Amino acid sequence: MIQYLPFEKPIEALDKHVAELSAHAEGTEEARMLRERADKLLADTYARLTPWQRTLVARHPQRPRFEKLVAGLFEDFLPIAGDRVFGDDQAIIGGFARFEGRKVVVIGHVKGEDTPGRLKHNFGMARPEGYRKAIRLMELADRFGLPVVTLVDTPGAFPGVDAEARGQAEAIARSTEACLALGVPLIAVIIGEGGSGGAVALAAANRVLMMEHAVYSVISPEGCASILWRSAAQAATAAEAMRVTAGDLLKLGVIHRIVYEPRGGAHRDAAETVKRLTLALRAELNALSALTPAELRCEREEFFLRLG
């Protein structure tokens, strides 16, 4: 059952009406017309989402995240644990896999699917050992000549005292540096939230793809509102001003490509979302496979220097 967001209340009411009518008069002209009306309302609503509404969609609890996307996109996924320094952070998972028969390394943030999972994975907020694990995996990919695909979905790196004590800022910087130094193709996909340096640490890529209803920003709208207006209640205003959406970021040149979602968001059709991501990844991997290690590094460096 779909969980409806606050702005979807009219859609929810119409869907319930359709379900009730279909239960008693399935196949009738009235039921068909009402279904068409509900579909049109859903399409119209998602065609004019505000930046704040897109933020809510990016955080939707039923949105397909790392585990579901990896299962749909890749075969033979073999996770690698630990950073060989401190421990194994569960907010970032990565390992070897195959994409349409091609060997790759996959790394991504994991938010968790339910309350125990979210606690286990710390809501996708990685500690230093998570970023050091990502560095370890990128170095292995470079050594064996394997393309890297990262799935970015985090509100930001974990800001706790223990993370800072173990060198959070240094770990994020080193992970970003490792991305830029790779001699193999690196494709990053912003699948939900792309928050601050915690996202960039896995997204300094040759190609930065972004799901249509994902968001990517230096700070969350609530965090920005708390700083500028001293109130998180202004989050919608902040989201509008920050230009966090895929459309805005493509115009600004911050990302390379938008992966469009099924009508009503990825959470309404995970299988179709996987198909669209597969097409995008195939095209980008094929294009990047023709470049030499030096060309890949130069292209990546020029893209991010141009942003500055």
**Confidence check: pLDDT of 98 > 90:** yes
**Confidence check: pLDDT of 26 > 80:** no
Burial group, residue 54, by CB count within 10 angstroms (0-12, 13-18, 19+): buried
Rounded to 5°, the CA angle 42-43-44 comes to 95
* The pair of three-digit structure tokens given for residue 266, joined into one six-digit string: 């990825």
Q: Could you read off the pLDDT of 189-238 as tens digits, one per residue?
A: 999 999 888 999 999 999 999 999 999 999 889 989 999 999 888 999 99
* Chain mean pLDDT for the chain: 93
Residue 38's pLDDT is 87
Instruction: Provide CB contacts within 8 A for 265, sequence distance 6+.
Output: 46, 57, 60, 63, 213
Handedness of CA 263, 264, 270, 274 (dihedral sign): positive
**Confidence check: pLDDT of 30 > 80:** no
| DSSP 8-class letter at 159 | -
Q: Which residues pair with 154 in a beta bridge?
A: 194
Which of 201, 180, 195 lies closest to 297 in space, CA to CA?
A: 180
**Confidence check: pLDDT of 24 > 80:** no
Mean pLDDT, rounded, for 57-67: 95
Residue 27 — very low, low, confident or very high, per pLDDT cuts 50/70/90? low
Least confident of 36-40, 101-105, 150-154: 36-40
Greatest alpha-carbon pair distance for the chain in Å reads 66
What are the distances in angstroms from CA 301 to CA 71, 144, 170, 180, 294? 32, 22, 20, 7, 11
Which of 148, 202, 209, 192 lies closest to 171 in space, CA to CA?
A: 202
Q: How far apart are the first and last CA of the chain?
A: 44
**Confidence check: pLDDT of 29 > 80:** no
Whole-number CA gyration radius for the chain: 20
Crossing angle for the helix pair 66-73 and 270-288, to the nearest 10 degrees: 60
Crossing angle for the helix pair 168-181 and 128-144, to the nearest 10 degrees: 20
Instruction: Provide CB contacts within 8 A for 4, sequence distance 6+.
Output: 11, 12
Distance of CA 44 to the CA centre of its chain: 24
Instruction: Provide CB contacts within 8 A for 177, sequence distance 6+.
Output: none
